[in-house]
Amino acid sequence: MELAGRSVVLTGVGREGQVGEAVARAFAERGARVFLVDRQESEARARGDALLAAGLRAASLAADLTDAAAVDALAARLREATGGRIHALVHLAGGFAMSGPVAESDSDVWSRMFAINVTTAFLTTRALLPLIRATRGTIVLFGSEAALPGARVAEMSAYAAAKSALLTLMQAIAQEERVNGVRANALAPAAIRTAANVASMGSDAEYVTREAVAEVALWLCSDGARAVTGQVVRVR
């Protein structure tokens, strides 16, 4: 899964101890030049500086991915930095919140879950597709086990519905872009052992490791998965 010479965009890299940190390091260690995007410039820069200090190739950018104009500006910067060629987009941007029983839920939580989980993916993919088509590249979206059939979704309807919409978006991209040689897939991980999850759920809960998630994302972006598109990969 060597990725030397390839440009990979990773959104929502987040804070230290989160899944984006592990995914970014995994791609950079395979030789990719990673472009780390986060809403908070300080977080993107911190993750990028850590990779640069290790002798890896990284660039850091900040953008509000819920804002179409900001995403278009980001795409212009990436077009200039990559010569208009992106080999992979790994969209980690998103977030979780309990919304409570539907009868008592807050509509603001519903709107926020869709904004950060679905709108970000839609706007980012739409803006970067011309650059991904140039390499016949790949897109990996981050869904959730909560969006799979039979999942327990009580009191988290907003999050589960948003992640379900994300998987439908992935299917649309995969079907539409097949003719352009672009692949799209999604991960559906169980709870990931991140610093935030351990702080809220404790260290004894059942988790999938950040490294396991990173390995699946790497494989989906590799030449070995060239025939794989429109798939949801469960990670436990």
Which of the residues 27, 114, 159, 207 is marked catalytic?
159
Read out DSSP for 18-75? SHHHHHHHHHHHTT-EEEEEESSHHHHHHHHHHHHHTT--EEEEE--TT-HHHHHHHH
- 207 is an active site residue: no
Q: 64: which 2 tokens?
A: 């509000």
Centroid of chain to Cα 57? 19
Cα 37 from Cα 123, distance rounded (Å) = 14
Spatial strand order in the sheet of 33-38? 58-62, 33-38, 7-11, 88-91, 138-142, 183-189, 232-235
What region does 188 belong to: left with phi over 0, alpha with psi -120 to 50, or beta?
beta
The residues annotated as belonging to the active site are: 159
